[in-house]
Amino acid sequence: MKPPIKVYREIFSYCYTNEEPGFSDLKAVLIVILSSIKHFILQLFANAVTKNHPKEAIWCIVSSKNNYAALVFLKEYFSDEELYFINTSTKELVTNAGLPIDKLSIGSYKSSWLSIPRLFKGLYRIYGSIVIRRFDQFFKTLGVYENFCDLLTDVQPRAIIFANDTLPRNRAILVAAMDHGVKTIYIQHASVTKSFPELKFDLSLLEGTHSEKMYTKDKRVFGNIELIGMPKADVIYKAKNNSPRIDRIGVCPTLLDEKKTIVELVHGLVEAFHEKEISFRKHPRDKRIFNFHKENVLVNPDESAIDFLGRQDLIIGGDSSIHLEALLGNVSTLYYNMNEYTHDTYGYVANEVVCELYSINQIIKYIRENQLARKLDTEPARYYNAVIGTKYEGRSGELAVMHIKRFISEN
């Protein structure tokens, strides 16, 4: 096994370059102690990843509902014996059938405890005070690396597929896989920005030219890149919205959007359009409470983004890849920035994929003017989704699996 300091440098070279401050010093240390005890107990009883899984399986690493949604299409092409989903989140995730996904055991932290003094000194020299505030993350991530190295010593999967490589735990698994010669595959789960890390996968399946440019500009690419579109949107493509009218309006804010602005927008739509169906979908990780159901606004917190879009004629949102998913299903979109921290992060406005409006009054005016003949132009979206206008439009999953099977068989 690599020296812990080298492992940390590979894992955290991206994660905490511009990270926000974490916990206070004392709280971070207490979290480490309590979580060590908790995970030791959980490992005795939990339904966790074990060495007994079939060696010929493909492992899929997921850490959120969105990650799972990006990879679940694989179930259509591989049997249950060929696919194994692993949850790296601290929260329970379930399959579409309602079954829990096995959680990743974090390990006993043996190296972490023994190496603390030397590690802390080395990491502090590299990352500064963020090591103190994020001590719990630094500590637990080595446990993930140790545990996965232990697993891969005895059980080597055919390949490991990731939908997210920015989270510390997922990056720890990536480093462990690389160290043990296990094939790694990345399938993009959302639009990317220039701040994303370099691609260190053997095969990266990206959505389109925009993603490829974001990853390759000023960064090294270690494996092959293939452009496949968006497999998770194949479902909505097959049920395209052909209605010319705007009768159903969906509001889908991001985590950073201000609650006051969100509420004002929904209230404004409800007041202006009594006859229309207004729906609301917050980000799956948004903990804020909205009581819109009391105002005849449709709210279903368990609904996936794809199912939500299937009920809309027009959506309104900020910096979210849901705009792109909407266009693939012939759902019109409007960009409305509801926070002061970000603007057009994915370049949708700059590349004319979506129309930006700047006030609730402008949004209401736009809907009234276009409610009988809504505007829709998917051509600019081809920059983000390479299969639009090709024979693989609506068949991205098929294209992805073709590349995956070819890659595994040839390597």
pLDDT at 313: 97
Helix (H) or strand (E) holding 54: none
Residue 90: C-alpha distances to residues 50, 86, 187 (Å): 17, 12, 22
Would residue 178 count as lying in a domain?
Answer: yes
Amino acid identity, position 186: Y
Say yes or no: 56 and 161 in one domain: yes
Would residue 275 count as lying in a domain?
Answer: yes
CA separation for the pair 396, 384 (Å, rounded): 13
pLDDT at 133: 57
Taking each helix axis from N to C end, the angle separating 135-154 and 4-15, rounded to the nearest 10 degrees, works out to 120
Q: pLDDT tens digits for 332-378?
A: 999 999 999 999 999 999 999 999 999 999 999 999 999 999 988 88
Say yes or no: 247 and 337 in one domain: yes
CA separation for the pair 37, 226 (Å, rounded): 43
Structure tokens at 117: 């003094």
Residue 334: C-alpha distances to residues 81, 125, 345, 391 (Å): 43, 46, 15, 28
Say yes or no: 32 and 170 in one domain: yes
Would residue 211 count as lying in a domain?
Answer: no
- Answer with the one of 167, 182, 197 that is the final residue of a domain: 182
Would residue 201 count as lying in a domain?
Answer: no
DSSP state of 279: E
- The alpha carbon of residue 57 and the mean position of all alpha carbons in its chain are separated, in whole angstroms, by 23
Would residue 135 count as lying in a domain?
Answer: yes
Q: Which residue has the tokens 């894992």?
A: 11
Say yes or no: 41 and 137 in one domain: yes
Amino acid identity, position 29: V
pLDDT at 141: 76
CATH code of the domain in which 349 resides: 3.40.50.2000
Q: Are 237 and 310 in contact (CB under 8 A)?
A: no
Say yes or no: 149 and 265 in one domain: no
Q: Which residue has the tokens 């399938």?
A: 187
pLDDT at 22: 41
Say yes or no: 239 and 369 in one domain: yes
- φ, ψ of residue 150 to 5 degrees: the values are -60, -45
pLDDT at 237: 84
Say yes or no: 178 and 248 in one domain: no
- φ, ψ of residue 4 to 5 degrees: the values are -50, -35
Say yes or no: 42 and 176 in one domain: yes
- Answer with the one of 138, 154, 182 that is the final residue of a domain: 182
Q: Are 318 and 338 in contact (CB under 8 A)?
A: yes
Would residue 139 count as lying in a domain?
Answer: yes
Say yes or no: 280 and 172 in one domain: no
Q: Which residue has the tokens 């949850």?
A: 87
Q: Are 84 and 157 in contact (CB under 8 A)?
A: yes
Would residue 69 count as lying in a domain?
Answer: yes
Say yes or no: 34 and 148 in one domain: yes
Structure tokens at 315: 């959506």
- Answer with the one of 141, 162, 182 that is the final residue of a domain: 182
Segments of the chain with pLDDT less than 70: 1-9, 11-54, 96-98, 104-140, 294
Would you mind telling me the total number of residues written for the chain in this entry?
Answer: 411
Would residue 53 count as lying in a domain?
Answer: yes
Say yes or no: 177 and 241 in one domain: no
User: What total number of domains does the chain contain?
Assistant: 2
pLDDT at 31: 53
Say yes or no: 150 and 67 in one domain: yes
Structure tokens at 101: 């996904």
pTM of the model: 0.83
Range of the domain at 15: 4-182
